Chains A and B, each alone.
Chain A
Amino acid sequence: MSTPSEPVMPPRITPPAEEPRVEGAALAVEKLNAWFGSNHVVKDISISFPKHHVTALIGPSGCGKSTFIRCLNRMHEVVPGARVSGSVLLEGDNIYAEGVDPVRIRRRIGMVFQKPNPFPTMSIYDNVAAGLRLNGTNRVSVLDAAVEEGLHLAALWDEVKDKLRAPGTSLSGGQQQRLCIARALAVKPEILLMDEPCSALDPIATGKIEELIYQLRERYTVGIVTHNMQQAARVSSFTGFLLMGELVEFGATGKIFTNPKDSRTEAYITGRFG
């Protein structure tokens, strides 16, 4: 099925050529629109994130990827003047329905940002424990267990287990990003969203995090924004291509990269623009 002359670099983890098996959507987005003031940035996007898969969103810089992904855990509205319409179904319930508390949604849908942003005054331990502590969990045994599990899941435990009291900011960039992943996982979300988590990192740190993302799909549904197509090919089972705020094409990653339907997708993945 896949043509022998693949347009992208040979991925380290080959995207499967056939349709990945899907057992329901963890997150179903319907006709989502988002604005900054009068600037209409996300236009009528409908897409679903299959459970226990990594779904990648690719597209040129400024096409609305960050804005879109921030709508999925109600982080978009944190910006003054920002507005959203449409619905996002989490396990069937619309997170934008009347009376839904955005804070509760964010506990179920974690997020990792482009630039590592550990809490500046907190130790490694405190960073990972922060989400639980600030939501009222104070039992030391619970926190210890959650911190250790989070750091294991983020593949950081072995590197920091002897210096949990050191400041989070004393770690390298790649370690800081994994710390942020550990911090997000420690509150046990159902879904993890990542906005270009590797764009501030060197290739080795990037490799580690990609490996990690690939592992995470066994326990979480992952949504990742990237402008790096090889990365999307390496880690995801589904890919959506965004252009100027619209979803141009969505499908199995193998299909999108080898046999895109839309000519604009093809132009983008073969590097003719973007």
Chain B
Amino acid sequence: MKSDSMTLRRWVNRVALTLTGLCALVTVSTLFFLLGYITLNGIGAINWEFLTQLPKPVGETGGGMANAIVGTAKLLGLASLIGVPIGFFGGIYLSEYGHGRLAFWVRYASDVLNGVPSIVIGIFAYILIVLPMKGFSTLAGGFALGIMMIPIAVRTTEEFLRLIPASVREASYALGVRQWKTTVFVVIPAAARGLMTGILLDLARVAGETAPLLFTALNNRIWSHGWTEPTSSLPVMIYTYAISPYEDWHRQAWAAALVLMLLVLVVNGGARILLPRRRETA
């Protein structure tokens, strides 16, 4: 009897262990397959010309995506300018000051916003900015990406501030320090690494968004000046080139995918390095 149930348990244990191991393996190998495949296809088309030249006219081979790289950088910069402060202050409010009904609704709204499909956010920016300004622009694209950054910035800021124990805040209050000064000079510095990490991961997440850009930044085969002209961006270039009939464009789409992946990997890596250590460096 007893040994029977033991045997059964051992088998269940083995099966469960194998399954979880297998799933872990699938996760890791998918990533490596993806990285390997994109590198294999993209590396051949990446060269100095690709990084520094504009796209050649349709039909000619060669050229590059310098404008798309700069466009993506501008879009992400603008998105951070909108998403980071709003998300950051919203998160501070929720963690340090929000105890009542308002906090509940802010939290709820940010969770819902996080679930809104990115294409809907694109349409929102289209109606709010593209239509009134009568044209696609970096401004509209950055706005759409910025809106997408808010909910994650809010929640990561809140989570990382909450990791700072109440005893640290109380130590400050007990010295007769006001709450806002405690927040600014004690709590936020203590959580700084985590906050940076959250923002970088947030940035990496929107870097590859394509759908909202189709409605807002559109695309551009030449340089986009200022903030009110349509702009090229890596995700939209990948989309456009990948569905084109030209062999050369396919190669360039792979190269653009590789650049975008590297960008995300670098940002992610930066976030990992910043991630809060268990103990503060002694």
Contact = CB atoms under 8 A, between A and B. Distances in A.
Contact of A106 (B168, B175, B186, B280): B175
Most buried by A among B173, B175, B189, B280: B175
A107 B279 contact: no
B176 A187 contact: yes
A130 B167 contact: no
Contact of B185 (A78, A134, A180): A134
B102 interface: no
Interface string B167-188: 1111111111110011001100
Most buried by A among B170, B174, B185, B190: B174
Contacts of B99: 80
Contact of B280 (A111, A121, A134): A121
6 contacts: A108-B176, A113-B170, A134-B186, A170-B282, A183-B171, A184-B174
Contacts of A118: 171
Nearest to B165: A117
A75 interface: yes
B280 A169 contact: yes
A106 B176 contact: yes
Contacts of A180: 171
A120 B175 contact: no
Contacts of B182: 134
B170 A104 contact: no
Contacts of B181: 134
Interface residues of B, number: 26
Contact of B172 (A104, A107, A134, A170): A134
Given A80-B99, A134-B185, A120 B280 contact: yes
B177 A117 contact: no
Given A73-B174, A166-B282, 11 more contacts: A75-B173, A78-B169, A103-B178, A107-B176, A113-B167, A121-B192, A134-B181, A134-B182, A167-B281, A183-B175, A184-B174
Interface of A: 73, 75, 78, 80, 103-108, 110-111, 113, 115, 117-121, 130-131, 134-135, 166-167, 169-170, 180, 183-184, 187
Contact of B174 (A106, A120, A167): A106
Contact of A130 (B165, B170, B172): B172
Interface of B: 99, 164-165, 167-178, 181-182, 185-186, 189-190, 192, 279-282
Given A80-B99, A180-B171, A119 B176 contact: no
A104 B174 contact: no
A132 to B, nearest CB: 9
Contact of A103 (B169, B176, B281): B176
Nearest to A130: B175
Most buried by A among B173, B192, B281: B173
B282 A167 contact: yes
A107 B279 CA distance: 30
Contact of A119 (B178, B186, B279, B281): B186
B1 to A, nearest CB: 46
A187 B175 contact: yes
A104 B172 CA distance: 13
A183 B279 CA distance: 22
Contacts of A130: 172, 175, 177, 186
Given A80-B99, A134-B185, A187-B176, A119 B280 contact: no
A197 to B, nearest CB: 13
